Chain A
Amino acid sequence: MATITASVYTSHVPAIGAALDLGKSGEDYWKPLFAGYEPSQAWFKAHQPDVIFLVYNDHASAFSLDMIPTFAIGCAAEFKPADEGWGPRPVPVVKGHPELAAHIAQSVIQDDFDLTIVNRMDVDHGLTVPLSLLCGQVAQWPCAVIPFAVNVVQYPVPSGRRCFNLGRAIRKAVELYDEPLNVQIWGTGGMSHQLQGPRAGLINREWDNRFLDRLIAEPDRLAEVPHLEYVQEAGSEGIELVMWLIARGAMSDRPPRVAHRFYHVPASNTAVGHLILENSQ
């Protein structure tokens, strides 16, 4: 059977991708951020999976207001980097895993989570920045990736509780897959940030770090936090953090091993948070 071995959580700030693509990662502004991901790249090399199930959100790139799926699973063989208005990021095309994606859709929909199946979709910085942070600048991504896009742009977005339970359904689906694949699940977005209105620029270091503590130690209770608290405490775009609960819900019920933890302010307008959790063997 396939197994979820680890989960990775990280912010997906577009400016991080731009810094890498434009060769600015050595600048003083960016050095501390990329230093925080050096252990992650070493960890990833040593723990390379067959497939990454990558939870992220689209930022008005693949989905306009024409259609707004709450949960969209990418079932295609490949996904091109999106042109977000200044040309696509110069990163490899993302290769999917259509068989596992279709299997997860089949299982999770029958568990009452109404996924939208997407067979054609470009992927934006929400998906490619986390890959760059963990894999570095590469000619090919080292494994298959199943994109899983969550609507966190138009309210109401899914609750933390629903995301956590969806993660559990994804875990069950993966464990029912016959081929012995090593699967990682990544939850991306956040941490505190607000990109709009007179309150733009909000950062809440204390709340963010408590979120990291609770994600490790008591994710089921963290899943009860209502939308309003995310918006008030972590800013209007801090709501992206509900996506981390999908990845956490997909982990074993036993306490995880914390392989790496990192927090940094700022990356452009955003607080950057990062965790790597391994399932105990």
Chain B
Amino acid sequence: MALDKPYKGIPGTTIFDAEQARLGYHLNQFCMSLMKAQNRERFKANERAYLDEWPMSEAQKEAVLARDLNRCIELGGNIYFLAKIGATDGRSFQFMAASMTGMTQEEYARMMLQGGRAPGSPVRDPREKR
């Protein structure tokens, strides 16, 4: 019998459950490795070679190289782990958040200053054509 997962239908939202965590285990542990300065240096020197040390799927590696955080999340990444890639790049969290919404960082920051995204307002995946 299937387990109850009522959170699957929330727009623009992926819940990091045991299934996603299993899918993304190596992706997230790769992110965790970036907590160490020497690993950050090695990753920056040759991203592809560093990723190839991890038993991640090709799709996961490509999503990391493209900094496509929405794709990383689909493939099992969790935002607290993925944030370490942004920190390695010297990006602010608002930059990362904006990148997932299809807004520029300035547009996103303005939305937050105006009270944030209103509940029930439309959600647009930046990968879909306008």
How many A residues touch B, CB cutoff 8 Å? 44
Report the separation of the CA atoms of residues A204 and B116 in the bound assembly, to the nearest whole angstrom: 8
**Residue A205 at the B interface, CB < 8 A?**
yes
Q: Are B13 and A194 in contact, CB atoms less than 8 angstroms apart? A: yes
- Looking at B41-49, B50-58, B59-67, B77-85, the stretch in contact with chain A turns out to be B77-85
Contacts of A118 in B (CB 8 A): none
**Residue A268 at the B interface, CB < 8 A?**
yes
- Looking at A37-45, A106-114, A151-159, the stretch in contact with chain B turns out to be A151-159
Q: Are B117 and A203 in contact, CB atoms less than 8 angstroms apart? A: yes
State whether A269 and B97 are in contact (beta carbons under 8 Å apart), knowing that A65-B32, A197-B12 are contacts in the complex: yes
Q: Are A236 and B117 in contact, CB atoms less than 8 angstroms apart? A: no
Q: Which A-chain residue is minimally distant from B15 (CB atoms)?
A: A155
Q: Are B12 and A60 in contact, CB atoms less than 8 angstroms apart? A: no
Q: Which B-chain residue is minimally distant from A204 (CB atoms)?
A: B119
**Residue A19 at the B interface, CB < 8 A?**
no
**Residue B17 at the A interface, CB < 8 A?**
yes
Report the separation of the CA atoms of residues A200 and B10 in the bound assembly, to the nearest whole angstrom: 12
Q: Is the interface of B mostly helix, strand, loop or mixed?
A: helix
Bitwise, A253-270 to B at CB < 8 A (1) or not (0) is 000000000000110110
Q: Are B17 and A85 in contact, CB atoms less than 8 angstroms apart? A: no
Minimum C-beta distance from A71 to chain B (A): 17
Q: Which of B10, B11, B28, B112 contacts A201 (CB 8 A)?
A: B112
- Looking at A135-143, A178-186, A226-234, the stretch in contact with chain B turns out to be A226-234
**Residue A223 at the B interface, CB < 8 A?**
no
Q: Which of B18, B83, B101, B113 contacts A200 (CB 8 A)?
A: B101
Minimum C-beta distance from A32 to chain B (A): 12
**Residue A83 at the B interface, CB < 8 A?**
yes
**Residue A250 at the B interface, CB < 8 A?**
no
Q: Which A-chain residue is minimally distant from B119 (CB atoms)?
A: A204
Q: Are A154 and B78 in contact, CB atoms less than 8 angstroms apart? A: yes
Interface residues of B (CB under 8 A from A): 6-7, 10-18, 21, 25, 28-29, 31-32, 34-35, 69-70, 73, 78-81, 83-84, 87-88, 93-94, 97-98, 100-102, 108, 111-113, 115-119, 123-126
A-B complex: 5 closest residue pairs judged by Cβ atoms: A203-B116, A199-B12, A198-B12, A85-B87, A155-B17
